[in-house]
Structure 1
Amino acid sequence: MARFRTYNGTNGLFCIYMTRCIRRLCLYSLLLPVFSTVIAQDSTRSQSKLVIFPAMTRSIETSWAFGGAASYTFRVSAKDTLSRTSSIQMGVLYSLRKQLVSSIRGTQYLRNENWIFNEQISFSSFPDKFWGMGKNTADNSVEDYSFKQMYIYLHLMKKIAPRLFAGLLYEYQRVWNISYKPGGLFDQQQVPGRQNYHVSGLGLSLTYDSRNHAFSPDKGFFAQTYFNHFSPLTGSQYPYTNLVVDIRKYVPAGKDAVFAAQAWLFGNIGKSVPLRSQAAFGGDNTMRGYYQGRFRDLQQFVIQGEYRRHIYKRFGIVAFAGMGNVAHEIGELNFSNLKYSFGGGMRYALNASEKLNLRIDYGIGKGNNSGFYFQLAEAF
């Protein structure tokens, strides 16, 4: 599973931004703020702020989705001037494809950022698509299925050196009301997790982060690796271990331009990894142009790059390309039947100082795979 899994891996649905960002976006009839409350504020910065607003997104998986969201930003201690602003975000979206996604997530910075705590709780009721397992599935082999999912993710990180954090994480996932075609691909391939199940696991992480901005860095390096072990000892119905490596580099590429690159490895160790914990290829963050889950297996790698350039006032353009693959075993991750994607898009800066952008992308993949995305914040 990728981080922020509202439907097995999405991190663009509930990006949160400040009141002035919403007002600017409202001018373009994209979002309309309905309620904004400043709880406490001084002359230099807001100590705490609550913002409630309607929201709208689009992806290949959901088509257009509409709903509402809220953001509460605050400082854990007024005396802590070194830590970044903490936040808690909530949101509910319902798509034109009758998909419901609700989420609460946040990040809290504690004790001069010596501690960082991330949390996410989400619920999804989601009609989805399945093409079968493996890297060689055909476009016309698609079957519809649906499920309900509850997901909990807790991640506590401790600074152990400048820009370096060690972490402890916990994940819980319950999947039920799974509906699929009897005798179809799920039964033919005996896919684990096609019946109701839950998993629970504990893991460790190591993170290095020298990026100069959280939303859209123009320089710096980010590297994170973690493993999470799901076991009967932690209450999991399926025993397996999830491994993830995420490496990103941001390099200035001339005036008002940056080149961003990412290498991402997602792996599972175990003979029986349930459906919603498997690698799901595609989405609005990796391999844009492919439906998320177009190719599905236990292992996955993605390498992608993006050229981002500011062109006028709050507007910018991007061009991106990537390649990747899935496999059943780590050793089988190779360039056989390699998947690729490329595309471009526009950016509008909702908050120039925080570099938070509205993202409009069109991605083209191999075969009949392509799609349009309307999201907040960069893909990586």
Structure 2
Amino acid sequence: MKRTAIALILVLSVCVVFAQTKEKKEKKDKSEKNLSIVPLPAIAYNPGNGWLLGVAPGASWFMGNPEKTSISSGLGTLIYTTKKQFLFTAKTNIFLDGDSWNLMGDWRYFITSQPTYGLGTGPQSGKPVGTGIEYADGLFSSPISDAQMMDFNYLRFHETVLKRMGDTRYFLGVGYHLDMHSKIEDNLLDLGAEEPVLTSHYTYQTISGLPTDKYTLSGISLNALLDSRDNAVNPYSGRYVFANIRINPKFLGSTKSSSLLWLEYRDYLHLDKDRPRHLIGFWTYGSFVTSGKVPYLDLPAVGWDQFGRSGRAYTQGRFRGEDLIYGEVEYRFPLQKTKETFGGVIFVNSTTASNRNADINLFKYLDYGYGAGLRVMINKKSRANLSIDYAFGKYGAQGFYFGINEVF
């Protein structure tokens, strides 16, 4: 963990110097452009990935008159790890001139490995399949008391197009969503042992009548959005309300027909009218399987939101289920009396997920995380921040997070 902290602090220093130099240069340039790019290097270490080396650039820009057009943003990663993992992402939130259209994109390609922990929140999340699985009447598989590591390739292509309704802040639109998992290797699965070792992935897929080696989720969505935030990358005021119903029929390529519902809400409460950066932010979302059977790795899971910001303290996918609700509160405050360069945050989050086959319902268990962080404003015009957070959670979970823009 010390190596991670040292590497990230060095990166933070380099990026701050670069950003300050770039900002000074832009001020001297009378033909200043609207585009702001931070070529954030990615250098870190954790047990799941080993050393991570690559780039994680962030960008913000205006597609029209800044007085009438919201700021657009994009985040990307191109990373290779010492455990032979390749991670590519490109995530965008684009507003066209006058906010006439809003385009949301989420593209990913992973050659990776990742632990899974079964379905639902609660005590069983601390010891995945800790008592084994009953695979026949009175016969239980060998217990698994550790994370269930899986190798797989993953392709995601999500693109949503929303049209603004008149002069309001309401948008309506449609989207296409493709998720493909292939070359799945369930490392702890051992069906040939004297006492079979059955993983959560294998059991869920088998009960659901789904394959275990590869599967596809392909569908279209209907979307409704209210976005009155004053700035999408670092909001001081406004609300964000988003609803998405996704239908995944077999004729579009899905392994099995299904549907999913996503509901999201964000709000910001001012604490000082003279310092808009001094506020409390609220974020909650729910993701639900509303029909059919969704493959295991495509089920609602913490950390799999568009920008992968939920669940600080936990690894991506730490909590998963047919239904999942997430909530977070963050206190944001400036660290200088008059300037806005440095700020801090204190946050707490909570996740609840279901396991319908094990009678674990939403809100039966809540798993929480909490922590604090530092913010460095690297572009006053766009309000782009470098963020560095440390978080703690249950079951010994903790994590160090480094990125650009606010979490929500």
TM bucket (normalised to shorter chain) is 0.7 to 0.9
Asked if the contact 2:11–2:41 (Cα under 8 Å) also holds between the matched residues in 1, the reply is no
Structure 1 residues 114-125: aligned runs within 5 Å: 114-125=100-111
Instruction: Call closer, same or farther: CA 1:348–1:80 in 2, change over 3 Å.
Output: closer
Structure 1 residues 219-230: aligned runs within 5 Å: 219-230=237-248
Partner of 2:53: 66
Partner of 2:348: 321
Q: Which has the higher strand share?
A: 1
Partner of 1:310: 334
Paired with 2:286 and 2:156, the residues of 1 have a C-alpha distance of 22
The residue matched to 1:29 in structure 2 has which SS? Answer: helix
Paired with 2:58 and 2:328, the residues of 1 have a C-alpha distance of 31
Uncovered stretches (5+) of structure 2, i.e. residues with no partner: 1-9, 128-144, 191-197
Selected match of 2:182 from 176, 181, 191? 176
The residue matched to 1:46 in structure 2 has which SS? Answer: coil
Deviation at 1:129, TM superposition (A): 0.3
Task: Give the letter for the 2:403 counterpart.
Answer: Q
Asked if the contact 2:70–2:232 (Cα under 8 Å) also holds between the matched residues in 1, the reply is no
Task: Give the letter for the 1:291 counterpart.
Answer: T
Paired with 1:89 and 1:357, the residues of 2 have a C-alpha distance of 13
Partner of 1:46: 33
> What TM-score comes out, normalization by structure 1 length?
0.80
Partner of 1:106: 92
Structure 1 residues 158-173: aligned runs within 5 Å: 158-161=163-166, 162-173=168-179
Q: Which has the higher helix share?
A: 2
Asked if the contact 1:71–1:90 (Cα under 8 Å) also holds between the matched residues in 2, the reply is yes
RCO greater where, 1 or 2, for CA within 8 Å and sep 6 or more?
1
Task: Give the letter for the 1:307 counterpart.
Answer: Y
Deviation at 1:98, TM superposition (A): 3.4
Paired with 2:343 and 2:47, the residues of 1 have a C-alpha distance of 23
Asked if the contact 1:31–1:55 (Cα under 8 Å) also holds between the matched residues in 2, the reply is no
Deviation at 1:132, TM superposition (A): 1.8
Partner of 1:252: 270
1:217-271: CA deviations, max 9, x gaps? 1221111111110001322112111111110110112344110011211111234
1:151-186: CA deviations, max 9, x gaps? 111110001141110010100121111111333303
Partner of 2:224: 206
1:62-104: CA deviations, max 9, x gaps? 5653213567777667x89733465666541123443311133
1:286-328: CA deviations, max 9, x gaps? 2311222222211100121010111124221111112221013
Aligned pair 1:367/2:372, yes or no?
A: no
Give the count of matched residue pairs.
Answer: 349
Aligned pair 1:29/2:14, yes or no?
A: yes
| Alpha-carbon RMSD | 3.2
Paired with 1:215 and 1:180, the residues of 2 have a C-alpha distance of 38
Paired with 1:215 and 1:76, the residues of 2 have a C-alpha distance of 15
Deviation at 1:375, TM superposition (A): 1.9
Paired with 2:225 and 2:205, the residues of 1 have a C-alpha distance of 36
**Bigger mean CA deviation after superposition, 85-94 or 296-305:** 85-94
Task: Give the letter for the 1:272 counterpart.
Answer: K
The residue matched to 1:28 in structure 2 has which SS? Answer: helix
Paired with 1:289 and 1:110, the residues of 2 have a C-alpha distance of 35
1:305-363: CA deviations, max 9, x gaps? 0101111242211111122210135x964332221221111111122332222211121
Selected match of 1:138 from 115, 126, 132? 126
Partner of 2:319: 295
Task: Give the letter for the 1:144 counterpart.
Answer: M
Sequence identity (%):
23
Instruction: Call closer, same or farther: CA 1:50–1:129 in 2, change over 3 Å.
Output: closer
Asked if the contact 1:131–1:137 (Cα under 8 Å) also holds between the matched residues in 2, the reply is yes
Partner of 1:187: 202
Partner of 1:240: 258
Aligned pair 1:150/2:155, yes or no?
A: yes
The residue matched to 2:120 in structure 1 has which SS? Answer: coil
Asked if the contact 2:259–2:292 (Cα under 8 Å) also holds between the matched residues in 1, the reply is no
**Bigger mean CA deviation after superposition, 319-328 or 284-293:** 284-293
Partner of 1:265: 286
> What TM-score comes out, normalization by structure 2 length?
0.75
Uncovered stretches (5+) of structure 1, i.e. residues with no partner: 1-24
1:140-161: CA deviations, max 9, x gaps? 3312111101111111000114
The residue matched to 1:187 in structure 2 has which SS? Answer: helix
Asked if the contact 2:80–2:86 (Cα under 8 Å) also holds between the matched residues in 1, the reply is yes
Partner of 1:20: none
Paired with 1:379 and 1:107, the residues of 2 have a C-alpha distance of 14
Partner of 2:133: none
The residue matched to 2:99 in structure 1 has which SS? Answer: coil
Task: Give the letter for the 1:292 counterpart.
Answer: Q
**Bigger mean CA deviation after superposition, 168-177 or 81-90:** 81-90
**Bigger mean CA deviation after superposition, 151-160 or 44-53:** 44-53
The residue matched to 1:300 in structure 2 has which SS? Answer: strand
Tell which structure's C-alpha radius of gyration is larger.
2
